Amino acid sequence: MKQEQGLVIELHDGLARIKVGRHTECVSCGACPSSQHVMVEAVNKLGAKPGQRVKFELQEQHMLTGAFVVFVLPLLCAALGAVLGWQIGPWAGNTGTAPIVIGAVVCFLLSLVMVKAFDRKAARNQGLKPVIIEIIE
């Protein structure tokens, strides 16, 4: 379990929106280079109020799963699409690189649809969200 601290900004539907300062892992990611803070939604079982500092924890397994889906899955799908294009191209009468590129692009775009579906499912699943474990102030 990974523990972080942040400031509760707002509450809605049993969740707290927490502003967390960027740490070394976040800075090296570069996904949001202009942001100095990251906003996190956490399950608010302790009843934290806006303006309170809280400690929350999240399971590293969920972070790894999310990172795999967002970063690795599209690359694997593009590679699979390239191989399929390479196999299907001669059968379709085209032996150049076009079928390989088209296969890679089509499968990459399909993987982005899968990433979006995963994101929507994860956003609804409170079991995947961080949980507030302590109110500091």
Q: Are 73 and 110 in contact (CB under 8 A)?
A: no
Token couple for 13: 């539907």
128 has which bridge partners? none
Burial call 11-48: b when 16+ CB within 10 Å, e when fewer: eeeebbbbebeeeeebeeeeeeeeeeebebbbbbeeeb
- Mean pLDDT, 10 residues at a time, the chain of 137 residues: 88 90 60 67 91 90 88 97 93 87 97 95 84 88
Separation of alpha carbons 72 and 5, rounded Å = 28
**This prediction's pTM:** 0.69
CA 57 to chain centre: 17
Separation of alpha carbons 102 and 82, rounded Å = 8
| DSSP designation for 71 | I
- pLDDT value for 21: 78
CA 47 to chain centre: 26
- pLDDT value for 31: 58
